[in-house]
Amino acid sequence: MNGVVVKAQPRIYSLARFSRNKTAATGLVIILFLVFVAVFAPVLAPHHPYEQNLEKALLPPCGEYPFGTDDLGRCVFSRIIFGTRISLQIGVTVTAITASIGVTLGLLAGYYGRLVDEIIMRLVDILLAFPGLVLALAIAGLLGPGLFNVMLALAAVGWMGYARVVRGAVLAVKEKEFVESAKAIGAKDLYILLRYVLPNVSAPVIVMATLGVGYVILAAAGLSFLGLGVQPPTPDWGAMLNSGKAFMRTAPHLTVFPGLAIMITVMAFNFLGDGLRDLLDPRLKEKKIE
């Protein structure tokens, strides 16, 4: 080795190959559109999301109200547009927190092993023994409803998957020559983890995080539907479904449009995650060739 650190050769991912994956490209376009809607919500919404007009309550879709109005006369279209902000905020924030916690603990467990690995992975096994959504319901019930509490509840139950995946990847990477070379010349553990190990285990984390955003949005909508998430009058898709379920026969638009918004958003992140998995996982490519 002669004191020279052998660096891991970075993979070069083809943007052209990604663009040929129509499913992934479609998901990316939808996500970019949702981000645009969230950023420019005040400009795109024809009405204020909190504006009430009881004289126009439960109107069907029309020119003035493209998605109709709710039982308080509020514009459903405007509330769905502003609800995009809430959903993306929850999805991205919770995923960032869970990925950070899971990756950190997975790196420590895989790299140091022994007692550190035992403590972290036994904790993961205990938490995975409970269904994630049920555990999130219990935590949200204890903390009470609200935006911050629902994000905290989902973050508390979402990091275990990242920890297990990263730990398994680290166990393979830490035996590579470039890691052994770095140890041989006296590089510190933190430097090795950040400079050599983390970049080589990032591919599955990126895929998991992309798919995780969709799951978090769906779970947050479920908690809001049950009354444990974002509370009225904040425009949240799950809360809109909850308030509209009493009018499913007389005003089905109150549940159809928020439901479509959730479905399309989750579908877009799933499409993008599947495309990234095809692009970043060389083992999957080999199976397809075979």
Please report the pLDDT score of residue 84 as a whole number: 96
Mean pLDDT to the nearest integer, 253-260: 95
| CB half-sphere exposure, 98, CA atoms < 13 A | 31
State the Cα angle at 34 between 86 and 96, rounded to 5°: 55
Q: How far is CA 284 from CA 168, 225, 272, in A?
A: 17, 37, 16
Rg (CA), the chain: 23
Residue 170: count of CB within 10 angstroms of its CB: 26
Query: Could you tell me how many helices (H) and strands (E) the chain has, helices first?
Result: 15, 0
Which helix (H) or strand (E) element contains residue 26?
helix 22-39
State the Cα angle at 288 between 284 and 290, rounded to 5°: 115
Q: Provide the percentage of residues in the chain whose pLDDT is more than 90.
A: 57
Mean pLDDT to the nearest integer, 38-63: 93
Please report the pLDDT score of residue 278 as a whole number: 78
For residue 278 the two structure tokens come to: 């095809």
Q: What is the pLDDT of residues 173-229, one digit of tens each?
A: 888 888 888 878 878 888 888 888 888 888 889 999 999 999 999 999 999 998 888
Mean pLDDT of the chain: 86
Listed range (9-23, 80-94, 149-163) with the worst mean pLDDT: 9-23
Q: How far apart are CA 87 and CA 39, in angstroms?
A: 13
Which helix (H) or strand (E) element contains residue 124?
helix 114-128
Looking at the domain that runs over 31-284, which CATH code has it been given?
Answer: 1.10.3720.10
Residue 249: count of CB within 10 angstroms of its CB: 6
Return the higher-pLDDT residue of 285 and 192.
192
Q: How far apart are CA 47 and CA 282, in angstroms?
A: 49
Q: What is the pLDDT of residues 81-112, one digit of tens each?
A: 999 999 999 999 999 999 999 999 999 999 88
| CB half-sphere exposure, 30, CA atoms < 13 A | 20
Q: How far apart are CA 3 and CA 172, in angstroms?
A: 22
Listed range (4-18, 48-62, 185-199, 263-277) with the worst mean pLDDT: 4-18
For residue 170 the two structure tokens come to: 């680290």
State pTM to two decimals. 0.86
Mean pLDDT to the nearest integer, 267-278: 89
Mean pLDDT to the nearest integer, 148-168: 91
Phi, psi angles (nearest 5°) of residue 75 = -70, 115
* Domain extent listing, the chain: 31-284
